Amino acid sequence: MSEFPAPAATPAAIVDALKAVAGNPPKVRASFAKGRCVRGTYTPSDHAAEITRSPSFTKPSRVLARFSVGGGNPGVADTNNLVLRGFSFRLGDDDHRSDILLESAPVHFARTLDQMLAFLNARIPGADGKPDMEKVKAFSEANPETLNQAKYIAARRLSASFAATTYWGVHAFPATNAKGEARFIKFRAAPVGGDVTLSDDEAKMKSADFLHDDLARRITAGDVRFNVMALLDRPGDPTMDATLRWPDEDNREEVRLGTIVITSLEANEACDGSIFNPANLADGIGHPPDDIFAARRAAYMISLAKRR
């Protein structure tokens, strides 16, 4: 347990803490504040219905999506290699809509809402504009699992492109197929062509908005495609703790649900006027059972209200 007693860990308190860590910039998302809205298409594979009966994944549809850079600072540089990249997308129609939120690490930074709030509170800047690193260190030593995400990010080089990054869903989603068979899956969006990273020297040459510039060029060239994969569970996998990967997760059996092709840039207002709400999941994909997911629905609505 953390040695830092905290105020009640509500979704509203989480949003306030995310904003405080970023310096309280006005009228932006509490997390993944910098991003680019895009449009595309989704084409299901022949095997999608073996995993889920959800029309969002078994039928072709248009796609609204957003690529983003982690944190609550809309001015964060694309060259910052200590923050996540995000990929959120909306599949299906108004009757069968699913919003899937993925990020460039396979785990979250907290197991419970109390732990998430304490993690953020330890990192709120002081009067000098910097967090108290002794407080951060003490919290991390008392809660080592909260470093799993940061360690994953630190072990990897800077991504060369939004379109050449693998994105993960950190939660275990209950999926029910056309036969009524249920199991847990994890989502993974794998770039067609694989991940591409930059050397330290290459990264130093990049501009603060290079990911956004690169995305525009790749869309024009028709070069932004992702396979949407479902990683399949095994008995005993942890489904309640988003700080943990499944054992041998990189070598898991997985099924391609379909392919997303990003076809055009979209005015950011199309993504900013609402939210990608993780609770929007069409029948056939259920809500993950962990504490963090349960809080996200309310937190996203609160964040939207604040930026309006």
Note the pLDDT of residue 308.
Answer: 67
Domain that holds residue 149: 33-107+144-290
Q: What is the SS3 assignment for 44?
A: strand
**CA angle at residue 11 from 7 to 12, to 5 degrees?**
75
pLDDT tens-digit series, residues 50-86: 999 999 999 999 999 999 999 999 999 999 999 999 9
- Is residue 228, in this structure, part of any structural domain at all? yes
- Asked whether residue 41 is domain-assigned, the answer is yes
Residue 63 lies in a domain: yes
How many domains are contained in the chain?
Answer: 1
- Judged by DSSP in three states, 278 sits in coil
DSSP per-residue string spanning 64-129 = EEEEEESSS-TT--TT-TTS-EEEEEEES-TTS-EEEEEESSSS-S-SSHHHHHHHHHTT---TTS
Q: Given this model, what pLDDT does residue 1 score? A: 47
**Is 136 part of a structural domain of the chain?**
no
CB 160 within 8 A of CB 214: yes
Q: Which of 230, 252, 235, 242 is nearest to 289 (CA)?
A: 242
CA distance 111 to 241: 5
Residue linked to tokens 């990054």: 165
Structural domain contains residue 45: yes
274 domain residue, yes or no: yes
Q: Residue 13 has what DSSP assignment? A: H
Per-residue confidence (pLDDT) for residue 274, from 0 to 100 = 79
Helix (H, G, I), strand (E, B) or coil at 259: strand
Q: Are 88 and 68 in contact (CB under 8 A)?
A: yes
Residue 186 lies in a domain: yes
| pLDDT value, residue 297 | 78
Nearest to 6 by CA among 111, 114, 109: 114
262 occurs within a structural domain:
yes
Which pLDDT score is estimated for 233? 97
- Reading the chain (308 residues) residue by residue, the pLDDT tens digits are 445 554 578 989 999 999 999 899 888 898 999 999 999 999 999 999 999 999 999 999 999 999 999 999 999 999 999 999 999 999 999 889 999 999 999 999 999 999 999 999 999 999 999 999 999 999 999 999 999 999 999 999 999 999 999 999 999 999 999 999 999 999 999 999 999 999 999 999 999 999 999 999 999 999 999 999 999 999 999 999 999 999 999 999 999 999 999 999 999 999 988 789 999 999 999 999 999 998 887 787 888 777 66
Q: Three-class SS of residue 191?
A: strand
Give this prediction's pTM: 0.94
Task: Report CA Rg, the chain.
Answer: 19
Distance CA(260)–CA(227), nearest Å, equals 6
The DSSP code for 214 is H
User: Which CATH number fits the domain that encloses residue 150?
Assistant: 2.40.180.10
Q: Alpha-carbon distance 16 to 255, whole Å?
A: 38
Structure tokens at 6: 């905290």
